[in-house]
Amino acid sequence: MKVTAIARQHAGMTREEALSKARELALRLRPYVDEAETMRRIPQEAADAMTASGLLPMVRPARWGGFEMDWMTLLDCVAEVGKVSGSLGWCFCFLMQHQWVLSYFPEAAQAAVYGRDPDPRIVTSFGAFGRAEPEPGGFRVSGDWAFGSGGDHCTWAIVGAPVLGARPEMRWFLLRQGQFSIRDTWNSVGLKGSGSNNIVVEGVFVPEEFSLDLGAAYGGHAPGSQFLDGPLYQAPLSSQFQFGLLSPMAGVARGAMETFLEFSRDRVGGMTGSKVAESPLLQVRVGESAAEIDAAYAVLDRISRGVMSGKLATPAVGARVGRDFGLCAKLMVQAVDRLFAVAGARGLNDGSALGRHWRDIHAMANHVALNSESLFQAFGRQALGLPPPGR
């Protein structure tokens, strides 16, 4: 039996209120941009400001005090921070989106988290970097998972691992504080300040109710979907997951555009002495990049509307949605690349906001879940009547 909101720890929030809070948060976070880049992690004060914003429950189920807002509201809020810093926007988005990931887990796991922590910070790494061995009542989990963004500030973790045995399957495992540690490994040219270090787990027992069959989550019949009736939790994970990656990308793309326009309006060409803004070529590049950023937004808005209306509540649309996610990532990278290419030497300066945006959007696009070639291929195979790749 599905349960609607039975307990609200937070009052409701409108889209306008959320955007206002996000803009305030972006102003508070601006002083920490350079510090994050130098430290290779999110400063404690910045992480605390994200929690204090009141926005972390944005896509949390109402049953646990969340707002159950749509993905485009999350995207626009994350983008306010992403315009300031890709690393800060990346981690801010995950602190919200990972609570949505938790909503697919069994009720006991969700109750354990929210019963102990009203604003949980959850680090994740979903790759098969570890292993899980079945034991009575659960699994023995070990591994060393890369790319745990913002993990220094998290007291919960979700990691993925194949379950060894006669019936191999991929599962995600929820870990409490003390069951995992963070190993400092992050030295990257992009998303420098995200602290995407390794999550280390050494032979920890995880009860079965603290695990999630990934096939069920992608197939639209996860445990959480059986008792949470909001559209965010009824649609398969595959129809929504990439919003957590594309939302900070949208912020970086907007930030790159704003930065480029700001320093191009009055810039004088070093060889000609004329204003570069008068260049028809530069004007065309601005128009083309702006169109790509807006086009990606329109496609994502269509997907979000489909989720919230219940039209994407079946796995059958997964290949099409994945294709569109891949296109959006490609469009935004192209838009920033084009601006960077006509920015001249200023874009190369150490500490340049445009250079940082360029590095960050490429780092984001390198996430395996945004590999446009594989996403396009999956749709192409389906359209041609072929089974998914690897089957």
Q: Say if residue 362's pLDDT is above 70.
A: yes
Least confident range from 165-169, 202-206, 355-359: namely: 165-169
Instruction: Give tens-digit pLDDT for 59-68.
Output: 999 999 999 9
Do residues 88 and 36 make contact, with C-beta atoms less than 8 angstroms apart?
yes
Do residues 243 and 74 make contact, with C-beta atoms less than 8 angstroms apart?
yes
User: How far lies 54's CA from each of 4, 9, 48, 102, 313, in Å?
Assistant: 22, 12, 11, 19, 29
Domain with CATH 2.40.110.10 in the chain: 122-230
Q: Say if residue 186's pLDDT is above 90.
A: yes
Length reported for the chain: 391
Provide the pLDDT confidence category of residue 267 given band limits of 50, 70 and 90: confident
Least confident range from 9-23, 33-47, 71-85: namely: 9-23
Q: What is the pLDDT of residue 208?
A: 97
Do residues 314 and 85 make contact, with C-beta atoms less than 8 angstroms apart?
no
User: Six-digit token pair at 322?
Assistant: 């994945």
CA 275 to chain centre: 39
Provide the pLDDT confidence category of residue 7 given band limits of 50, 70 and 90: very low
Q: Say if residue 200's pLDDT is above 70.
A: yes
* CATH superfamily of the domain spanning 122-230: Butyryl-CoA Dehydrogenase, subunit A, domain 2 (2.40.110.10)
Amino acid (1-letter code) at residue 213 = D
Provide the pLDDT confidence category of residue 4 given band limits of 50, 70 and 90: very low
Q: What is the pLDDT of residue 271?
A: 63
Instruction: Give tens-digit pLDDT for 45-103.
Output: 999 999 999 999 999 999 999 999 999 999 999 999 999 999 999 999 999 999 999 99
* CATH superfamily of the domain spanning 15-120: Acyl-CoA dehydrogenase/oxidase, N-terminal domain (1.10.540.10)
Q: d(Cα 88, Cα 93) in Å, to the nearest integer?
A: 9
Q: Say if residue 9's pLDDT is above 60.
A: no
71-82 vs 243-264: helix crossing angle, rounded to 10: 40
Comparison of pLDDT for 11 and 29, the residue scoring more? 29
Average pLDDT over residues 94-122: 97
Do residues 78 and 247 make contact, with C-beta atoms less than 8 angstroms apart?
yes
Q: Say if residue 391's pLDDT is above 70.
A: no
Q: What is the pLDDT of residue 10?
A: 42
In degrees and rounded to multiples of 5, residue 306 shows phi and psi of -65, -40
Do residues 172 and 159 make contact, with C-beta atoms less than 8 angstroms apart?
yes
What single DSSP character describes residue 228? B
Q: What is the pLDDT of residue 270?
A: 60
Q: Say if residue 23's pLDDT is above 90.
A: yes
181-183 and 197-207 strand pairing: antiparallel
The model's pTM: 0.94
Provide the pLDDT confidence category of residue 272 given band limits of 50, 70 and 90: low
Q: What is the pLDDT of residue 1?
A: 36
Q: What is the pLDDT of residue 211?
A: 98
Q: Say if residue 213's pLDDT is above 70.
A: yes
Average pLDDT over residues 327-352: 90
Q: Which CATH architecture has domain 237-383?
A: Up-down Bundle (1.20)
Q: What is the pLDDT of residue 8?
A: 35
Nearest to 50 by CA among 128, 154, 125, 197: 154
What does pLDDT average to over the chain?
93
Q: What is the pLDDT of residue 127?
A: 92
Nearest to 13 by CA among 56, 75, 63: 56
What single DSSP character describes residue 388? P
Instruction: Give tens-digit pLDDT for 125-180.
Output: 999 999 999 999 999 999 999 999 999 999 999 999 999 886 779 999 999 999 99
Domain with CATH 1.20.140.10 in the chain: 237-383
Nearest to 193 by CA among 26, 47, 368, 366: 47
Q: What is the pLDDT of residue 193?
A: 98
Domain with CATH 1.10.540.10 in the chain: 15-120
